[in-house]
Each structure stands twice: as C-alpha cells, then as structure tokens.
Amino acid sequence: MGRRGRRVEGAARALPEAIAALSRSLPAGPSPEIFRRAKFDRPEAAPALWQLLFRVLSPLAANNASTDLAPEAQARVVKSALVSQGYPRSALLQSPEGGSQGSRELLLALSWLLARGPWLEQLLAQTRVQLGDELPQCECDILASREIPAPHVQTERPVDLRLVEWLMGKLRFRWRCLMSSQQEQCTLLSKIHLYTSGCHSQQRLGHLSVAETEMLRDPENGQQLLQALESENIRLEAALEWRRCELVFWQWMDTVLDACSLESPAVTSQPTVLPMISEHGLRELALVKQELQALQEELQEVAEPRRAAWEAQVGGIGQRPEWSTIRKTLQEAVERELVALQGSWEPSSNPAPPQRPHRLVRSKDKSPGPQGLQAAKVIRTLSAQEASLKSVLHQLQSQCQRELARLAGALPGLIWIMAPGH
C-alpha cells in the first residue's frame, strides 16, 4: 500500500479532472461523482451508467430511435452487446436487469471498453459532424448485413422456390435503382463542387461541400450545424485532455478492481447468459470448412501426380551441380510468395480501401492540386477487387452448372435448353 499510497496521494487532484474530461468527451457523460460512487457500488450511480452504456453500445440509440426504451430492455441490449464483444465478467451479466445494483460492475465494463483500444475516438468518429462530402465508407458494410434479420412476415404459408426467385428479382431491381441514384448523386455533387469552386476558405479544399452550401442557403440549419460542430469541439478537447491524464484513472481503477475481485470470486458457469455465438456464425464456419475441404481435395488431386511425375524426372536433374542452389532460390521465392499471399487476408495488411474518413474534392486535372488520395488509384484498387469478386461468382456459378448438368444427364427423355451464351 505504501508504494501506491504516494501515487494516489499525488493523483488526488488529477483524478477528478481526468474523470471530468472523460465524462465530457462521452455523449451525455455522467458527473465524476457518479464514478466515485460506483467505486463503492452505490445504487444511485447505476441508472446513469446503464444509460451511458446503452447509449454507447446500442446502434439503435445512435439513431435516436429508441432512447425511450424501458430500463430492462436497455440493460438487455447492453449485456448482449458486451457479450458479443467478449466481455469476460459474468457478475454484470448475471445482475438483475436495469436495477440499481451493480454500479461497480458497470464501471468495470466501461473501463474494460476504454482499455481495449481507441474506443473513445471511435465513438467520437461515429457521431462526428460531417462537413465534407463523402462516398459511403464501405458500401459492403451497408449492403451486406451478415446478420440474419427476422423475416417481416412470418409466413404461415409454405414457401415456393419461385418466391425466392421473385425476391431475387426484386433485389436486382433495387441494385439497379441504387446504381442510378448513385449516378445522380455524383452528377449533382460534381455540379455543386464546380459551381462553388474557389469559395472555400481552406485553399486545399477549394470548393464548398453540400453541407456547407446548404448552410448558406438555409441559415437556420446552418446554425444547428455550427452548434453541433462546436459541441463536438468541446468533446474533442475533453478527449485530448483525457488522453493526457488517463494514467491516473487506470491506477484508480486498479483499486476498484481490487475492491470487487474479493466479492465475486469464482463464477464458473454462465447459465443465464445469451448464447455466445450466433447460430449464423456457426453455420458460416461450417460453410467455410466445407469449402476449404473441397479445396484441399482438389489440391491433393493435382499435386500428388505432379509430385510423382517430378520424382520420376528429378533423377536426371538432381545430378546437376547447380541444382541445389536453384532449388534453394526457388523454395525461398515460393515461400515469399505464399507468405505474401497469407498476409493478404489479414485485415491489418489490407490498406486498399481507404478506411480513414475522407472528403471528396474536385481538383483540376494535371494541376498540382492538394495532397490526397487520387480517385484513379482507388478506382484501380476497386476494379481489381471487382474483377476478383466477379471471377469468384462465375466460378461458383459454373460449379452449380456442372452440378445441375450432372443431374440433367441422369434424366432420360428430357432435353435441357439453357439460355444462349452457355
């Protein structure tokens, strides 16, 4: 205690400031006093923390769609979100829903989130005021929601495969509709950029964005935009401050953890908790496994005879003096190639699509414009991506075709006539 004692002493003033900074940087963050009370697991601190966690963890809350959810429901959302992110402590998960208990556990959960990475920054980024024009960050995320949504209409009637065809057709039309809307949006954006060129105070931007132009056209909205921007600035300042002095908070959290680790020692099983992994995830996993196994078999089929042929042939080559060096270089080259290949599916080594927020800027061709990502470069990356996805799709389709053709061959007395072009 002695060694730590001095530190805590020194941090006596710093701690409230750090917590205050954290609070300010969070959306509707609670007062430092709440944090203090939570350390002592005081019930009055719980509701505020539930609220906070709900706000930062629920995607619904981000849309302001269901902030008026019942406390129990909010708690459920918080718990399942924490579980899905792998929060290890079961004490919180077992706590009664939305009650006033467990404010310390809530504090721990919040800290856990903070400790794991730039969570605060991500929160800020999620709600950032958009001034510039952007293309959607990654359309994939928007379109391909991997979660299975609950069907709108729980159909009582049996489903005919033709309904699936119908829905697929609808989807194709929606895609095309998106395409043309997207085209229009580009046309309009580009016009606005062109018409306002030279207006922006920041030289490197040159022209106004839609938000900025809209602000000029409709001052009332502009007022709101300005306010939003200013409050974001306040939160950003707070976040910076928090970053500067968070150490003291973690030291303090240590003491919090010490306080509670005695209370909830060994909860071995997690009976009440929601399933850790969705059925969907498991099925996906099984699917990938199947495909990998198929690939494995195919590789075996081609590799083994080649190896045998090679062994037969190698007798002659193996005698040559230069062979061993050549073999070594080849092996190294292949290894490099494969390592690079392996690396290409690790997300960290995949900077291709710009993950950073970006702002669309129209720049004149060939003029030495501002620094930034060139659209042409992104287009190249995307084209490559598109081509590879296309080939994947075609490959799947021809796999299906082979499979169905096999079936067709087995049926006598019928002629299958495919669409022309096959």
Partner 1 sequence: MSIVTVQLGQCGNQIGFEVFDALFRDTQCSPGLCSKRENEAYQASCKERFFREEENGVPVARAVLVDMEPKVINQTLSKAGQSGRWKYGQHACFCQRQGSGNNWAYGYSVHGPKHEESIMNLIQKEVEKCDSLSGFFIIMSMAGGTGSGLGAFVTQKLQDQYSSSLKMNQIIWPYRTGEVIVQNYNSILTLSHLYRSSDALLIHENDAVHKICAKQMNIKQISFRDLNQVLAHQLGNVFQPTYSEDGSSHYRRDPLGDLMEHLVPHPEFKMLGVRNIPQMSENFLAYSTFTWPGLLKHLRQMLISGAKMEEGIDWQVRPPFSGLPPLGKMSVHKDLHFNTSIANLVILRGKDVQSADVEGFKDPALYTSWLEPVHAFSMWKTPRAFDKYEKSAALVSNSQLLVKPLDMLVGKAWNMFASKAYIHQYTRFGMEEEDFLDSFTLLEQVVASYGSLGP
Partner 2 sequence: MLGAKVDCLLPTDCARRLVAEMQGALDACAHRQRQLERSLRVSRRLLQVWEPARTPAPEPETKEEAATPACTPNAQDLKELELLTQALEKAVRVRKVVSKARQRDRTPSLASASNAATSGATAPAHSQAPSQASSLASGARSTKGVQRATVPSRSADPECRRRSRGDRTQERTEAQVTGSGPGLRGQQMAPGAVPPSTELFTLKEKGTLLQLPVAFRKAASQNSRLWAQLSSIQASDSTDVTRAAKTEFLHKLQMASGSSSHRPSAAEVEAHVQSLRKARTLLRLHMQKELSTAPTDWMQEYRGLLILEGLQTIVGQCLHRVQVLQAAVTEQLPGLHLVEKPTQASSLGGGEMDTSWSPELLLYSSTEELQTLATLKLRVAMLDQQIHLEKVLMAELFPLINTQEAGGSPQLALCRAAYSLLCEGGEQFLTVLRDDPTD
Which amino acid type is present at position 238? A
Rounded to the nearest whole angstrom, what is the least distance from the CB of residue 235 to partner 1 in the complex? Answer: 34
CA 267, CA 257: separation in Å to the nearest integer?
16
Torsional sign, CA 57, 58, 61, 62: positive
Q: Binding-site residue total for partner 2 (CB under 8 A)?
A: 218
Q: Is 65 in the site for partner 2 (CB under 8 A)?
A: no
Select from partner 2, partner 1, none the partner in contact with residue 352, using the beta carbon and a kind-dependent cut-off of 5 to 8 Å. none
CA 199, CA 197: separation in Å to the nearest integer?
5
Q: Which of 10, 43, 96, 372 binds partner 2 (CB under 8 A)?
A: 372
Q: Is 63 in the site for partner 1 (CB under 8 A)?
A: no
CA 167, CA 251: separation in Å to the nearest integer?
56
Strand residues in 65-137 grouped as ranges (E)? none
Region from 5-13, 16-24, 26-34, 196-204 binding partner 2, contact rule CB under 8 A? 196-204
Q: Which of residues 168-197 bind partner 1 (CB under 8 A)?
A: 168-170, 172-177, 179-181, 183-184, 187-188
CA 374, CA 404: separation in Å to the nearest integer?
45
Q: Which of 235, 281, 17 is nearest to 124 (CA)?
A: 235
Strand residues in 267-327 grouped as ranges (E)? none
DSSP 8-state code for residue 30: P
Rounded to the nearest whole angstrom, what is the least distance from the CB of residue 190 to partner 1 in the complex? Answer: 11
CA 251, CA 258: separation in Å to the nearest integer?
11
Rounded to the nearest whole angstrom, what is the least distance from the CB of residue 414 to partner 1 in the complex? Answer: 13
What is the CA angle 384-148-274, rounded to 5?
Answer: 125
CA 23, CA 419: separation in Å to the nearest integer?
63
Torsional sign, CA 230, 232, 233, 238: positive
CB distance 252 to 11 below 8 Å: yes
Rounded to the nearest whole angstrom, what is the least distance from the CB of residue 154 to partner 1 in the complex? Answer: 12
Rounded to the nearest whole angstrom, what is the least distance from the CB of residue 228 to partner 2 in the complex? Answer: 10
Q: Is 318 in the site for partner 2 (CB under 8 A)?
A: no
Q: Which residues, at least 6 apart from 24, have a Cβ–Cβ distance to it below 8 Å?
A: 234, 235, 238
Q: Tokens for 130? A: 């958009």
Select from partner 2, partner 1, none the partner in contact with residue 59, using the beta carbon and a kind-dependent cut-off of 5 to 8 Å. none
Q: Of the two residues 72 and 332, which places its CB atom closer to partner 2 in the complex?
A: 332
CB distance 24 to 235 below 8 Å: yes
Q: Is 200 in the site for partner 2 (CB under 8 A)?
A: yes
Region from 7-15, 16-24, 32-40, 168-176 binding partner 2, contact rule CB under 8 A? 168-176
CA 422, CA 420: separation in Å to the nearest integer?
6
* Binding string, residues 134-173; x marks residues near partner 1 by CB under 8 A: -------------------x-x-x-xx-xx-xxxxxx-xx
Region from 3-11, 46-54, 65-73, 366-374 binding partner 2, contact rule CB under 8 A? 366-374
Select from partner 1, partner 2, none the partner in contact with residue 345, using the beta carbon and a kind-dependent cut-off of 5 to 8 Å. partner 2
Polymer length of the chain: 422
Q: Which of 12, 65, 70, 295 binds partner 2 (CB under 8 A)?
A: 295
Count of Cβ atoms closer than 10 Å to residue 123 Cβ:
19
Q: Of the two residues 155 and 202, which places its CB atom closer to partner 1 in the complex?
A: 155
Select from partner 1, partner 2, none the partner in contact with residue 268, using the beta carbon and a kind-dependent cut-off of 5 to 8 Å. partner 2
Q: Binding-site residue total for partner 1 (CB under 8 A)?
A: 29
Q: Which of 160, 312, 368, 409 binds partner 2 (CB under 8 A)?
A: 160
* Binding string, residues 203-232; x marks residues near partner 1 by CB under 8 A: ------------------------------
Interface residue list for partner 1 (CB under 8 A): 153, 155, 157, 159-160, 162-163, 165-170, 172-177, 179-181, 183-184, 187-188, 417, 419-420
